[in-house]
Amino acid sequence: MRKIIYLDYQATTPLDPRVRRAMEPYLGEKFGNASSLTHAVGRQAARAVEKARAEVAGLVGADAREIVFTSGATESVNLALKGAARAYREKGRHLITLAIEHKAALDSCKRLETEGFGVTRLGVGRDGCLDARDLKKAIRRDTILVSVMAANNEIGVLQPVAEVAKIARERGILFHSDAAQAVGKIPLDLRALGMDLLSFSAHKICGPKGIGALVVRKREPRVRLLPLIDGGGHESGFRSGTLNVPAIVGFGRACVLAGREMRREAARTARLRNRLRDSLLDRLPDGVVNGSWEHRLPNNLNLSFAGVDAKALMKRLKNIALSSGSACTSTSLEPSYVLKAIGVSEERRRAAIRLSVGRFTTIGEIDRAVEEIVAGVKRMRKVAQVFRQRRIRPSAENLRYV
């Protein structure tokens, strides 16, 4: 069996062997509970956690005391939005976010609406970028929180978070950013940008799954949150529960490596991504890139090929791991809500594939992937032509005709 070409780094990343080695002692002989400070075994675990906390904070320009460990970015986003909204509800009950946010933010906002909060979901341009003027118009006297992602998980578009933070700060409004896709790929400095809350996850930067962080600003202003989980007051009272020491240690190591190698890796992955785009569009010139090319993560490519059903195409590309959108909505049969929000037609939405490269992607894999994708698209177009003649709609469900 040929080795799978992994081009789905925005869904998750392989665990870096250097991260695994850092974690291994804490899966074995260093098994202590970091809250058990009455003996050496527990204190050893606590020291490892605090070292990792400083390493995680260092990647995003935060203070170690501002790091709250969670189970991942989804929990971090939930804690940021629900925790802040409930803590500040006497000040106001209005939140602003984007229509193209990750489901963690959108579904959290839906939940808050059932509790009496109002939510404004701002649209974006055809390039996927927020116009800051729309944000200014949407702010009300009772607005308490703005949540805008740093980078989109489907089209990789970067939002003007520095400008958003400035607007929020001038109005005395809290600003949260879901940075799960951005951290480790582009420089982010919470203090310099003026963010109050920042969510991200280890498994997007070649760290372990099941561990994430929420940065909660401690001064100018000190941000208050009501916890989602009670029971022991761990993590400064924001998130109770026994700490996952091996994963936290791995998270810290992953952040150190990402910070050290970010500039070089961003340049390398951008070259690979550009080679992938140029080669595909050279062979399939009617392909269309979805979202802004100028304001984009260095490793993301979202393309639509006319006359192709993306889900059917992916079933044919058995040697390539890719997606048609967010991993968190992969069970949905509907075309991408993100692409719909930027004005992409239904046909193009159904034809869209997301390709993302990363730390272990090679030039050889890019070239192999191009060959297989081109062959797959051409084959699907021939099949689609036959289906049209027979008045059958091409889709993943009727692949038995292929």
93 and 227 together in one domain: yes
Mean pLDDT across 357-384: 94
Q: Which of 257, 291, 311 is the last residue of a domain?
A: 257
Kindly report, residue by residue over 200-232, the tens digit of the pLDDT: 999 999 999 999 999 999 988 899 999 999 998
Quote the pLDDT of residue 392: 62
Residue 295 scores a pLDDT above 90:
yes
Kindly report, residue by residue over 66-81, the tens digit of the pLDDT: 999 999 999 999 999 9
Q: Which of 234, 257, 280 is the last residue of a domain?
A: 257
- Confidence tier at 326 by pLDDT (50, 70, 90): low
156 and 27 together in one domain: yes
25 and 74 together in one domain: yes
Average pLDDT, the chain: 93
Residue 327 scores a pLDDT above 90:
no
Mean pLDDT across 297-324: 94
Characterize the bridge pairing of strands 288-289 and 212-216.
unpaired
Residue 238 scores a pLDDT above 60:
yes
Domain range for 107: 17-257
Q: Do residues 177 and 195 make contact, with C-beta atoms less than 8 angstroms apart?
A: yes
Quote the pLDDT of residue 328: 53
* 3-class DSSP assignment, residue 64: helix
Quote the pLDDT of residue 372: 97
CATH number at residue 114: 3.40.640.10
Cα separation values, 399 from 106, 303, 382, 387, Å: 33, 22, 13, 11
Q: Do residues 28 and 218 make contact, with C-beta atoms less than 8 angstroms apart?
A: no
What's the pTM? Answer: 0.93
Report the alpha-carbon distance of residue 269 to residue 185 in Å, rounded: 10
165 and 212 together in one domain: yes
Kindly report, residue by residue over 330-356, the tens digit of the pLDDT: 455 567 999 999 999 999 999 999 999
Q: Which of 112, 10, 97 has its CA nearest to residue 330? A: 10
Q: Name the phi and psi angles at 350, rounded to 5.
A: -70, -20
Quote the pLDDT of residue 163: 97
SS3 content of the chain, % helix, strand, coil (to 5): 45, 15, 40
166 and 282 together in one domain: no
Q: Tell me, yes or no, if 328 is annotated catalytic.
A: yes
Q: Which of 257, 276, 299 is the last residue of a domain?
A: 257
CATH number at residue 385: 3.90.1150.10
173 and 78 together in one domain: yes
Quote the pLDDT of residue 391: 63
How large is the angle between the packed helices 245-283 and 363-389, nearest 10 degrees?
A: 60
364 and 289 together in one domain: yes
Number of domains composing the chain: 2
Residue 189 scores a pLDDT above 70:
yes
Q: Which residue(s) pair with 300 in the sheet?
A: 356
Amino acid type, 133 = R
Mean pLDDT across 169-176: 97
Judged by average pLDDT, the poorest of 21-35, 252-266, 304-318 is: 304-318
Long-range residue pairs from 21-27, CB within 8 A, at least 24 positions apart, any chain: 22/249, 22/250, 22/252, 22/253, 23/208, 23/246, 23/247, 23/249, 23/250, 23/253, 26/245, 26/246, 26/249, 27/246
Pick the more confident residue, 263 or 394.
263
Residue 390 scores a pLDDT above 80:
no
Report the alpha-carbon distance of residue 235 to residue 10 in Å, rounded: 28
Residue percentage of the chain with pLDDT more than 70: 93
Mean pLDDT across 93-119: 98
Judged by average pLDDT, the poorest of 296-305, 320-329, 385-394 is: 385-394
- What tokens were used for 130? 């927020």
Q: Do residues 324 and 290 make contact, with C-beta atoms less than 8 angstroms apart?
A: no
Report the alpha-carbon distance of residue 306 to residue 286 in Å, rounded: 7
Residue of 109, 129, 255, 328 marked catalytic = 328
Quote the pLDDT of residue 1: 46
- Confidence tier at 400 by pLDDT (50, 70, 90): very low
- Confidence tier at 381 by pLDDT (50, 70, 90): confident
**Sequence-ordered list of residues with C-beta below 8 angstroms from that of 82, at least 6 positions apart, any chain:** 108, 111, 112, 226, 228
245 and 379 together in one domain: no
Mean pLDDT across 130-157: 98
Mean pLDDT across 228-239: 92
